[in-house]
């Protein structure tokens, strides 16, 4: 991972109970390694790391990144 991206983070705000934030592993083997459950109005601030290269979000949520904002619905 290049150092320019190291401090970058994204924000996930749950818009309903039971939103799942799932971290997927970096490297040749892409699998789930972490699942975090958020209830309505809970916020998670996270980064892409050495271990995490992708994130899957299930449920109604608002996601903010430096590239913009997106909603899951
Ligand atoms: N231990 C994980 C890591 O360092 C924690 C993590 C970071 C994570 N970013 C995430 C978990 C995004 C879920 C989604 O990679």
Instruction: Read off the CATH number of the domain in which 11 is found.
Output: 2.60.40.50
Ligand 1 pocket residues where CB is under 6 Å:
21, 23, 34, 36, 46-47, 49, 51-52, 55
- Predicted local confidence at residue 73, as pLDDT: 81
Burial 50-64 (b: 16+ CB within 10 A, else e): eebeebebebbbbbe
Domain count, the chain: 1
Domain extent for 62: 3-71
Distance 54 CA to ligand 1 centre (A): 9
- pTM, two decimal places: 0.92
pLDDT category, 70, cuts 50, 70, 90? very high
Q: What are 25-39's pLDDT values in tens digits?
A: 999 999 999 999 999
Sheet containing strand 32-38, edge to edge, reads 32-38, 19-25, 52-58
- Predicted local confidence at residue 7, as pLDDT: 83
């Amino acid at each position: 991972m290049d150092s320019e991206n190291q401090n970058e983070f994204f924000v996930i705000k749950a818009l309903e109970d039971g939103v799942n934030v799932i971290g997927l592993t970096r490297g040749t083997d892409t699998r789930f390694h972490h699942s975090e459950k958020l209830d309505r109005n809970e916020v998670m601030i996270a980064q892409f790391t050495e271990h995490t290269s992708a994130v899957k979000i299930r449920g109604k949520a608002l996601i903010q990144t430096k590239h913009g904002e997106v909603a899951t619905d």
